[in-house]
Amino acid sequence: MTPEEITEALDEIISNIADAHILIARLGKAMASGPSGHMDVVYGDIWSDAGLAAMQKSLRLMESQLVRAQSITLPEHFERLRTGVP
Protein backbone atom coordinates (compact mmCIF):
# COMPACT_ATOMS: atom_id res chain seq x y z
CA MET A 1 0.00 0.00 0.00
CA THR A 2 1.13 3.51 -0.69
CA PRO A 3 1.14 6.20 2.00
CA GLU A 4 -1.88 7.76 0.29
CA GLU A 5 -3.79 4.46 0.37
CA ILE A 6 -2.94 4.00 4.04
CA THR A 7 -4.08 7.55 4.79
CA GLU A 8 -7.34 6.98 2.89
CA ALA A 9 -7.97 3.74 4.77
CA LEU A 10 -7.28 5.40 8.13
CA ASP A 11 -9.54 8.33 7.20
CA GLU A 12 -12.32 5.87 6.46
CA ILE A 13 -11.79 4.08 9.78
CA ILE A 14 -11.84 7.41 11.64
CA SER A 15 -15.02 8.38 9.79
CA ASN A 16 -16.66 5.07 10.72
CA ILE A 17 -15.71 5.59 14.35
CA ALA A 18 -17.25 9.07 14.22
CA ASP A 19 -20.44 7.56 12.76
CA ALA A 20 -20.50 5.05 15.61
CA HIS A 21 -20.21 7.93 18.10
CA ILE A 22 -23.24 9.59 16.52
CA LEU A 23 -25.33 6.43 16.57
CA ILE A 24 -24.43 5.63 20.17
CA ALA A 25 -25.20 9.21 21.20
CA ARG A 26 -28.60 9.05 19.47
CA LEU A 27 -29.43 5.82 21.25
CA GLY A 28 -28.33 7.34 24.55
CA LYS A 29 -30.53 10.40 23.97
CA ALA A 30 -33.47 8.21 23.02
CA MET A 31 -32.96 6.23 26.20
CA ALA A 32 -32.69 9.35 28.37
CA SER A 33 -35.49 11.29 26.70
CA GLY A 34 -37.92 10.28 29.37
CA PRO A 35 -40.72 7.82 29.67
CA SER A 36 -42.19 6.72 26.38
CA GLY A 37 -43.91 3.55 27.42
CA HIS A 38 -42.14 0.29 26.76
CA MET A 39 -39.57 1.84 24.37
CA ASP A 40 -37.43 3.39 27.12
CA VAL A 41 -37.01 -0.07 28.62
CA VAL A 42 -35.95 -1.48 25.26
CA TYR A 43 -33.43 1.35 24.70
CA GLY A 44 -32.09 0.84 28.21
CA ASP A 45 -31.70 -2.88 27.61
CA ILE A 46 -29.89 -2.29 24.32
CA TRP A 47 -27.62 0.31 25.97
CA SER A 48 -26.62 -1.97 28.85
CA ASP A 49 -26.53 -5.32 27.02
CA ALA A 50 -24.34 -3.92 24.25
CA GLY A 51 -22.08 -2.16 26.76
CA LEU A 52 -22.43 1.09 24.84
CA ALA A 53 -21.19 3.37 27.63
CA ALA A 54 -17.85 1.56 27.73
CA MET A 55 -17.80 1.25 23.95
CA GLN A 56 -18.29 4.99 23.57
CA LYS A 57 -15.23 5.64 25.73
CA SER A 58 -13.18 3.05 23.81
CA LEU A 59 -14.19 4.59 20.49
CA ARG A 60 -13.08 8.03 21.65
CA LEU A 61 -9.70 6.66 22.70
CA MET A 62 -9.28 4.73 19.47
CA GLU A 63 -10.20 7.73 17.34
CA SER A 64 -7.76 10.03 19.14
CA GLN A 65 -4.96 7.45 18.84
CA LEU A 66 -5.54 7.08 15.11
CA VAL A 67 -5.66 10.83 14.54
CA ARG A 68 -2.50 11.29 16.60
CA ALA A 69 -0.67 8.53 14.74
CA GLN A 70 -1.78 9.88 11.39
CA SER A 71 -0.54 13.38 12.12
CA ILE A 72 2.54 12.69 14.28
CA THR A 73 3.89 9.15 13.90
CA LEU A 74 2.95 7.93 10.45
CA PRO A 75 4.44 10.74 8.32
CA GLU A 76 7.93 9.54 9.28
CA HIS A 77 7.08 6.00 8.18
CA PHE A 78 5.46 7.30 4.99
CA GLU A 79 8.67 9.12 4.14
CA ARG A 80 10.59 5.87 4.60
CA LEU A 81 8.15 4.16 2.22
CA ARG A 82 8.58 6.91 -0.37
CA THR A 83 12.38 6.83 -0.23
CA GLY A 84 12.68 3.05 0.05
CA VAL A 85 14.71 3.30 3.27
CA PRO A 86 14.05 0.34 5.62
> Coil, strand or helix: which one is 36?
strand
- Who contacts 43 (Cβ-Cβ below 8 Å, separation ≥6)? 27, 30, 31
Helix runs in the chain, H state only: 3-32, 39-49, 52-68, 74-83
DSSP at 40: H
Task: Give pLDDT, residue 40.
Answer: 67
Per-residue pLDDT of the chain (86 residues; tens, 9 = 90+): 888 999 999 999 999 999 998 888 888 777 777 666 555 677 778 888 988 888 988 998 999 999 999 888 899 888 888 888 77
DSSP at 34: -
Task: Give pLDDT, residue 56.
Answer: 87
